[in-house]
Amino acid sequence: MNKQFHIFEIDEGLVRTIQARAEGPHYHDFEELIIVTEGSLEHYIDFQSELVVAPFVSYVSMGKMHRIVAHDDLRGWVINYQNEFIPDSKLNFYSNFFTTTNIPIGADGCAIRFVSLCQIINHEYQEENPDFQTIRHLTAALISMIESERKRIIPIEKSVKASQIDTFNSFLKIVEQNFRRDEGISFYADKMNMSERNLNIICKNNFQKSVSEIIETRKLIEAKKMLTHTEKSVSEIGYELGYNEKSYFTRVFHNKLSVTPTQFREMTRAIIS
């Protein structure tokens, strides 16, 4: 793999290789886009499993543990890239609030456009001296198209969709700045100059999650990173994320992941080693 970028097609031969290798859960030191145009796969991210059926795009951010079980009919494309290759990606930003980012795409012209763009990117990548500036622009365009598709499937009226998306993105930025604090819905509603009810409606419309669920998800994603990549104790991590009692942090973590923070740390370190 090029240090910053790699693209390859999921064809019958690759599916057979993946199935024979039976690779276990692992971490990436790069961002990954899996664009599935046919078939299905079982996707495990941070000990949570989901069956995903084409057509869809799955984004796996760097540092998330994952594994795929490829079904015989699986076809599509995979793009791996370093975060600095496509800086300020909206998909990377949203991954801080979602345990998994699976985006269904339209089976009509949308999937065809994605495939065409992947083929163009791959053609340039296979050149003897590929132009990575061109590849960067094309990949950024593909990510922009994926984000546009995500917006299109938000189940609200077109007349209010644009303003709600902007408001929701502003809310996520405020969460990113404050999620380590022990603050409730009222704190964020005040920051947004709106009622708690309206903020919850916007969150439900855009992410199918309530305000409290989004805040909790952000905390737990950060907790998993700290458990994996630092030597801080469970109590220290919980306190840094606004949980004043270790027992409460452990209970919330276990309710979401079915393992305690200590068990999660042991499992991930066993995989890494």
Q: What is the CATH number of the domain that holds 123?
A: 2.60.120.280
Contact 132, 81 (CB under 8 A): no
Shared-domain flag, residues 160 and 251: yes
Q: How far apart are the first and last CA of the chain?
A: 23
Total domains in the chain come to: 2
Shared-domain flag, residues 26 and 65: yes
Contact 76, 15 (CB under 8 A): no
Contact 37, 117 (CB under 8 A): no
Q: Which residue has the higher pLDDT, 10 or 83?
A: 10
Shared-domain flag, residues 148 and 178: no
User: DSSP 3-state assignment of 44?
Assistant: strand
- Domain's final residue, options 128, 152, 176: 152
Shared-domain flag, residues 211 and 137: no
Going by pLDDT thresholds of 50, 70 and 90, the confidence category of residue 52 is confident
Q: Which residue has the higher pLDDT, 223 or 162?
A: 223
CATH of the domain at 243: 1.10.10.60
Shared-domain flag, residues 33 and 163: no
Mean pLDDT of the chain: 88
User: DSSP 3-state assignment of 70?
Assistant: strand
Shared-domain flag, residues 52 and 143: yes
Residue 135 is part of which domain span? 5-152
- Domain's final residue, options 118, 133, 152: 152
> Which two structure tokens, joined as six digits, stand for 150?
């995500």
Cα 90 to its chain centre, rounded Å, is 10
Shared-domain flag, residues 131 and 25: yes
pLDDT at 61 over 70: yes
How far apart are the C-alpha atoms of 8 and 49, rounded to whole Å? 24
Beta-sheet strand order (sheet of 31-38): 5-10, 75-81, 31-38, 56-60, 101-104
- Domain's final residue, options 130, 152, 174: 152
Shared-domain flag, residues 129 and 170: no
User: DSSP 3-state assignment of 66?
Assistant: strand
Going by pLDDT thresholds of 50, 70 and 90, the confidence category of residue 122 is very high
pLDDT in tens, 167-186: 998 999 999 999 999 999 99
The secondary structure element, H or E, covering residue 251 is helix 246-257
> Which two structure tokens, joined as six digits, stand for 122?
């791959």
How far apart are the C-alpha atoms of 145 and 273, rounded to whole Å? 38
The secondary structure element, H or E, covering residue 114 is helix 109-125
Going by pLDDT thresholds of 50, 70 and 90, the confidence category of residue 1 is very low
Shared-domain flag, residues 40 and 100: yes
Shared-domain flag, residues 135 and 9: yes
pTM: 0.81
Shared-domain flag, residues 131 and 204: no
Shared-domain flag, residues 16 and 135: yes
Percent of the chain with pLDDT over 70: 93
pLDDT in the model for residue 187:
96
